[in-house]
Structure formats: structure tokens, C-alpha cells
């Protein structure tokens, strides 16, 4: 046979494998794990990551400052039990987000701060890269966990570890460091997809020991003046039905901390909120559910708790929390849902409600305090005092219990906590354990995004100053948020003076400020009010319309008090003025 005839056909070209890169792997890893929203501020080196995430279906909410974006992510985690995601640029942007991350960890909010960063080889030799900083080392002491991903193939594992760390056990903040070079790394798309990890059972139930449950029940059975205290951990647990059943089956009075208000309605007959001082002082057995004996509860010591001997039962998923301030007679370690369910199962037919003498004394004190407060809340002064203004807002929430209330300030926070009754769980969001200011607009934005509910943010004029520029964000996304600023011309009050006559006093702002004009500048609705009736009418109109609204509520500059209810934490000089 002769040689093959020559042909003009060329061999078929080998197809190049499809590639993916770090940008897409981060987005795919988040989507695989049910993440739907990212909060952040765009910039080098993460601008394109935000753009691509939005194009790929994620909702990307851009803020004006990273701390506010971080606070939004944190409260999103609290509301959803999924880690809220905050995306920031390197160095200064990372540091801005770090305050929110630390606050999330302190308050047990699941959150992941993802920041772009400089390359390791430049950072380690301190060669002066753009925004060079060893961000991982800085973040570690301030969060629950911190991870850095250097290779595209590890992005799936890095995101999975961050998610599990954020929500498992006691939730908290996690830092995930993504060097700029990582995002542009490429790899085989098929291998990239296989490298992604879907987190299974990220926060598994932690079942309490049977003997610990029985010990807690035995302590409760022997109580003559029992009390349950709910913290925001009880609200986060979303074990609402079991908690209600425990309260009503046991007959024990309960006291909600501020973000636990509404877990059961504040108007529930067993709610002791209006008799707080009495029940803390006179109780003999106190069961803490998702609450810590920190400064907000006077560390379980001192005059607040009176001289009556007390035994404490504490439900917490973190064993190290027990005995943190005083002895815990019956520690109950586990997740709140499992612990409450176990207590219910252990309450047999011999269970008896607390003595009528105790519950009657609480009711009498509640009725007395409510009667004393009623005329203060009904006053019609113009300009308003805090009680008159809060009386109007109290009626708003009573009529619209589905509205989410965000609250911060000094007097604005301290008084609202006791005045405004809440009726549904996770509807009151405030400054939390640190008492940090500047969460107002951030929490309002995230609450509107995550729940779709109308939001009423009640702000002191000082607190608003930390986060006020985010009114533009509210207007840009056309969110159903109504902000009410209690404007008394200063911090605590607007009447202080500089003894030298040179400058305004350190606690005084510009007199007659019109914060409502800020909202108008960005296309929202601005309203100025001077009486409780005007305030009520303006808030109703805002919530009915769903339009971004800011109400400048004029408060008498002399109405406030130093530091609200925590003036004792403000050191006083013992030296005489010369």
C-alpha cells in the first residue's frame, strides 16, 4: 500500500479548560451557604468583588462608613441567625469595620468581617505597600476567630470555617482576610466548584445534662420569690413558643433586659418590668436565660440586689460564663431552646406556682409605678420633655406592634427602655452590652433589609452624630425607615456653658439645629415638631407612607440629666474649684 495522501486538514485544537478566579469563588462560597446580603463600602481592592456579587444576585448594600456597614451586618446576624457579612477595603477601612466586629463579639452577634489586604511578602518585610497592615494580627484579639486565605483553592474552606465559627456555640464576630492577589488568582472551574464547602449543621443543638436540669428544677421548686431574667440571647435563640410555655407553666414573674423586651409582651401579667427594682432586690432565686451578670445587672451584687440571700440558675451555652461574678448554684449548659425544653419536660404535676404573696406584691408595685408615670407620659409641654415625647411614641408602638424599634442615646435610650412597651420578639434593637453609640441608622437599615418591616429609629441628637450620614443610604435604597431625633441641643442637655466664656461648652451643640433638613437634602421627608401631638401625627404619616423620613423633635434643652441612669459610672472630681 502506498503512502497516505496528503490532506489540508489540521489537527483539532485542544479546548482550554474553563477557569474561575478568587472573586467568583468567594461569591459562590457565600451563595452556597445561603448568604443573600453583603453590607460594606467599596474601594481598592474589593470594588469589583462587590460589583460581581451584585451582578450574581447577591444584594450589596453600600454604606458611607465601614463602621456603620459593620454594625448593620452584626444586627443582621442577630435577626437571622446567619452570619451578617461586612466587606471593607484594607487598613483604614478594615479598622473602621473592626469596631463593629469587636462589638458584635461582645454582644454575641454572628458576623464576618471580610477585608481586602496587602500581600504577605510586602507586609512581613514592611516595605510600605498601599495601606500596608498586618490586619490578621490586629483582628485576632478582638473577635472570636480570624482566618487568612492565600490560595484560591482554599477559599471554600476559609468561608466555611468563618461561618461555623461565627454561629456555633456562643455566636460572635469572625475576621476573614483576603489579600488582593488572591482575588485575581485563577484555577480550573470544575476543581474550583469542588473546593467549595456547604456548612452542615453549623450551630448544632447543645443538649444539657439531665442531672443539671434536675438540679435547676430543685432550686426553683424551693424558691419563695423566684424570678426569671431574659437577656437578648433568649431572643436570638428564637425559641419563643417554648419560652412562653415555660413562663406560663411555671407562673414565675419575668424581667426582660432591653433587647429581650417583647419576647413575651411587656403587658403580660407576669412581666415585672415596671417593678424592676423590687424584684431584683427581693427575689430569692433568679434564673438567667440568655443574660449575663455583667454591669447591666450590677454584676449580681450591691444595693441593686438587696440583702436577701439569693441563688442563681444560669442557662448559657458557654460554660466559662458560669461563676463569672458570683456563685451560680445551678449552671445549665446548653443552647437555650434545648435547655428550656428540658425544663418543661421535667416540670411534673407536682409543680406549684410561686406564692401569691410574692406575685401580689409585684403586681401592687407595678400598678403603683405605672400610675405614677402615667401623667408624665401624657403631658403636652412644648417644647417637649423626654417623657411627653416618649409617651407619644409609646402609643405608636402599641398601635403598630409589628414595627421594629431602634433606640440609642443617653436619656433617649434610658427612658425609652422603660417607657415604650414591646409586644413581639426581636422588635427592639439597641446599643447592647457596650452601650456603644452610633448603631441607630445602621441597625435601622439592616432591620428594614432583612425583615421588610417598617422601622422607627429613636435617636438622641448626640448618638445620631455618629451615624447620621447614613440617611443618604436610607434614601438611596428607599427604605421604610422613620428616624426621630430628640434634639435638646447637646449631650445630656443643652444648657452647659464654658466658664471662660471662650467656646461653647463641651456638651453643647448648635442651638436650634434642624436635622430634618438633612433628610430633605437627599430626597427624603423632613419634619420639625414641637409637641407630642405633632410628633405622633408625623410618625404615623411616615410609617403609613413607607418613605424615608426624619423628624426633628424639639426637646427642652434643660430636660436631660447627666449620663441618664448610669451617671454613677462617670467619675466626679473631689477637688474644689479655685
Written as nine digits, the cell of 414 is 434610658
- Ramachandran sector of residue 523 (left: φ over 0; alpha: ψ -120 to 50; beta: rest): left
For strands 19-21 and 186-188, give the pairing.
Answer: antiparallel
Q: Please name the residues in contact with 522: beta carbons below 8 A apart, sequence gap of 6 or more.
A: 471, 472, 475, 476, 548
Q: How long is the chain?
A: 578
Going through 276-342 in order, the beta strands assigned E by DSSP cover 285-289, 311-316, 330-333
304 alpha-carbon distance from chain centroid: 26
Closest of 555, 540, 395, 367 to residue 460, by C-alpha: 555
Closest of 322, 167, 325, 340 to residue 239, by C-alpha: 340
Query: Residue 120: pLDDT band by 50, 70, 90 thresholds?
Result: confident
Residue 572, pLDDT > 90, answer no
Same topology, domains 19-195 and 210-363? Answer is: yes
Q: Do 495 and 558 meet the contact criterion of CB atoms below 8 Å apart?
A: yes
| Confidence (pLDDT) at 564 | 56
User: Cell 405614677, residue?
Assistant: 372
Q: Do 512 and 489 meet the contact criterion of CB atoms below 8 Å apart?
A: yes
| Confidence (pLDDT) at 392 | 98
Residue 421, pLDDT > 50, answer yes
Task: List the domain boundaries for the chain.
Answer: 19-195, 210-363, 378-563
User: Cell 458560669, residue?
Assistant: 322
Query: Residue 228: pLDDT band by 50, 70, 90 thresholds?
Result: very high
**pLDDT (average), residues 505-534:** 97
- Could you give the percent of the chain with pLDDT greater than 70? 96
Closest of 512, 516, 514 to residue 542, by C-alpha: 516
| Confidence (pLDDT) at 104 | 98
Beta bridge partners of 313: 287, 330
Instruction: Tell me the pLDDT tens digit for each residue of 161-216.
Output: 999 999 999 999 999 999 999 999 999 999 999 999 999 999 999 999 999 999 99
| Confidence (pLDDT) at 565 | 64
- The conformation of residue 271, written as its DSSP 8-state character, comes to B
Taking residue 486's Cβ as centre, other Cβ atoms within 10 Å add up to 32
Instruction: Tell me the pLDDT tens digit for each residue of 271-304.
Output: 999 999 999 999 999 999 999 999 999 999 999 9
Query: Residue 576: pLDDT band by 50, 70, 90 thresholds?
Result: low
Residue 563, pLDDT > 90, answer no
Beta bridge partners of 63: none
CATH number of 210-363: 3.40.50.1220
Residue 578, pLDDT > 70, answer no
Helix and strand totals (H; E) in the chain: 22, 19
8/53: higher pLDDT = 53
> For residues 421, 424, 429 and 434, what is the CA-based torsion angle, rounded to 10 degrees?
80
Closest of 202, 30, 182 to residue 110, by C-alpha: 202
Q: Average pLDDT of the chain? A: 95
Query: What is the distance between the alpha carbons of residues 553 and 283, in angstroms, rounded to a whole number?
Result: 40
Measuring CA to CA, how many Å separate 249 from each of 226, 246, 274, 343, 480? 14, 5, 22, 11, 38
| Confidence (pLDDT) at 15 | 77
Query: What is the distance between the alpha carbons of residues 286 and 311, in angstroms, rounded to a whole number?
Result: 6
Instruction: Tell me the pLDDT tens digit for each residue of 6-19.
Output: 555 665 556 788 99
CA-CA-CA-CA torsion sign (555, 437, 439, 419): negative
| Confidence (pLDDT) at 34 | 97
474 CB-contact burial (10 Å; exposed 0-12 / middle 13-18 / buried 19+): buried
Residue 3, pLDDT > 60, answer no
Note the pTM of the prediction, 2 decimals.
0.95
169 CB-contact burial (10 Å; exposed 0-12 / middle 13-18 / buried 19+): middle
3-state SS record for 196-257: CCCCCCCCCCCCCCHHHHHHHHHHHHCCCCEEEEECHHHHHCCCHHHHHHHHHHHCCCEEEC
Query: Residue 127: pLDDT band by 50, 70, 90 thresholds?
Result: confident
- Could you give the percent of the chain with pLDDT greater than 90? 90
**pLDDT (average), residues 508-532:** 97
Q: Decide which of 3.30.70.330, 3.40.50.970, 3.30.420.40, 3.50.50.60 is the CATH code for 378-563.
A: 3.40.50.970
Element (H, E) at 178: strand 173-179
Query: What is the distance between the alpha carbons of residues 316 and 232, in angstroms, rounded to a whole number?
Result: 12
Which CATH fold topology does 19-195 show? Rossmann fold (3.40.50)
Query: What is the distance between the alpha carbons of residues 50 and 43, in angstroms, rounded to a whole number?
Result: 9
> For residues 120, 124, 130 and 131, what is the CA-based torsion angle, rounded to 10 degrees?
100
Instruction: Tell me the pLDDT tens digit for each residue of 18-52.
Output: 999 999 999 999 999 999 999 999 999 999 999 99
| Confidence (pLDDT) at 1 | 45
Amino acid at each position: 500500500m502506498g503512502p497516505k495522501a496528503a490532506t489540508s486538514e489540521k489537527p483539532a485544537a485542544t479546548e482550554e479548560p474553563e477557569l474561575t478566579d478568587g472573586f467568583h469563588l468567594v461569591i459562590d462560597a457565600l451563595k452556597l451557604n445561603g448568604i443573600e446580603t453583603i453590607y460594606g463600602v467599596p474601594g481598592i481592592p474589593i470594588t469589583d468583588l462587590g460589583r460581581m456579587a451584585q451582578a450574581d444576585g447577591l444584594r450589596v448594600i453600600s454604606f458611607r462608613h465601614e463602621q456603620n456597614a459593620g454594625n448593620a451586618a452584626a444586627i443582621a446576624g442577630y435577626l437571622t441567625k446567619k452570619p451578617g457579612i461586612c466587606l471593607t477595603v484594607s487598613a483604614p477601612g478594615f479598622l473602621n469595620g473592626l469596631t463593629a466586629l469587636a462589638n458584635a463579639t461582645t454582644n454575641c452577634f454572628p458576623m464576618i468581617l471580610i477585608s481586602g489586604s496587602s500581600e504577605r511578602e510586602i507586609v512581613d518585610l514592611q516595605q510600605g505597600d498601599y495601606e500596608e497592615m498586618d490586619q490578621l494580627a490586629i483582628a485576632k484579639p478582638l473577635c472570636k476567630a480570624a482566618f487568612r486565605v492565600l490560595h484560591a483553592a482554599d477559599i471554600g474552606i476559609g468561608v466555611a470555617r468563618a461561618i461555623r465559627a461565627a454561629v456555633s456555640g456562643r455566636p460572635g464576630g469572625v475576621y476573614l482576610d483576603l489579600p488582593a492577589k488572591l482575588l485575581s488568582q485563577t484555577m480550573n472551574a470544575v476543581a474550583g466548584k469542588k473546593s467549595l464547602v456547604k456548612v452542615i449543621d453549623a450551630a448544632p443543638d447543645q443538649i444539657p445534662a439531665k442531672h443539671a436540669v434536675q438540679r435547676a428544677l430543685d432550686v426553683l421548686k424551693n424558691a419563695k420569690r423566684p424570678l426569671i431574667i431574659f437577656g437578648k440571647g433568649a431572643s436570638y435563640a428564637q425559641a419563643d413558643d417554648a419560652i412562653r410555655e415555660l413562663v406560663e407553666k411555671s407562673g414565675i414573674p419575668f424581667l426582660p433586659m432591653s433587647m429581650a423586651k417583647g419576647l413575651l409582651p411587656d403587658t403580660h401579667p407576669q412581666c415585672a418590668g415596671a417593678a424592676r427594682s423590687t424584684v431584683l432586690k427581693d427575689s430569692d432565686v433568679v434564673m438567667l436565660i440568655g443574660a449575663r451578670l455583667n454591669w447591666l445587672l450590677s454584676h449580681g451584687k450591691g444595693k441593686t440586689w438587696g440583702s436577701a440571700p439569693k441563688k442563681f440558675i444560669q442557662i448559657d451555652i458557654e460554660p466559662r460564663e458560669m461563676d463569672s461574678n458570683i456563685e451560680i448554684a445551678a449552671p445549665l449548659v446548653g443552647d437555650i431552646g434545648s435547655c428550656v425544653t428540658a425544663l418543661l419536660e421535667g416540670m411534673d404535676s407536682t409543680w406549684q406556682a410561686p406564692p401569691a404573696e410574692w406575685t401580689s406584691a409585684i403586681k401592687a408595685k407595678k400598678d403603683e409605678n405605672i400610675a405614677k408615670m402615667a401623667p408624665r407620659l401624657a403631658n403636652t409641654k412644648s417644647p417637649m420633655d423626654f417623657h411627653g415625647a416618649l409617651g407619644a411614641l409609646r402609643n405608636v408602638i402599641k398601635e403598630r406592634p409589628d414595627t421594629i424599634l431602634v433606640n440609642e442615646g443617653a436619656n433617649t435610650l434610658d427612658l425609652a427602655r422603660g417607657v415604650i412597651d414591646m409586644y413581639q420578639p426581636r422588635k427592639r434593637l439597641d446599643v447592647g452590652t457596650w452601650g456603644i453609640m452610633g448603631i441607630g441608622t445602621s441597625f435601622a437599615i439592616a432591620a428594614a433589609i432583612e425583615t421588610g418591616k417598617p422601622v422607627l429609629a429613636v435617636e438622641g441628637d448626640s448618638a445620631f452624630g455618629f451615624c447620621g450620614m447614613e440617611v443618604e443610604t436610607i434614601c438611596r435604597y428607599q427604605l421604610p425607615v422613620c428616624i426621630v431625633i430628640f434634639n435638646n441641643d447637646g449631650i445630656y442637655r443643652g444648657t452647659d456653658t464654658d466658664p471662660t466664656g471662650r467656646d461653647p461648652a463641651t456638651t453643647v451643640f448648635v442651638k436650634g439645629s434642624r436635622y430634618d433638613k438633612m433628610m430633605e437634602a437627599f430626597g427624603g421627608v423632613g419634619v420639625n415638631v414641637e409637641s407630642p401631638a405633632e410628633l405622633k401625627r408625623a410618625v404615623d404619616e411616615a410609617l403609613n407612607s413607607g418613605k424615608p423620613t426624619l423628624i426633628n423633635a424639639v426637646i427642652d434643652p434643660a430636660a436631660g440629666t447627666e449620663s441618664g441612669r448610669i451617671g454613677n459610672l462617670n467619675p466626679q472630681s473631689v477637688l474644689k474649684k479655685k
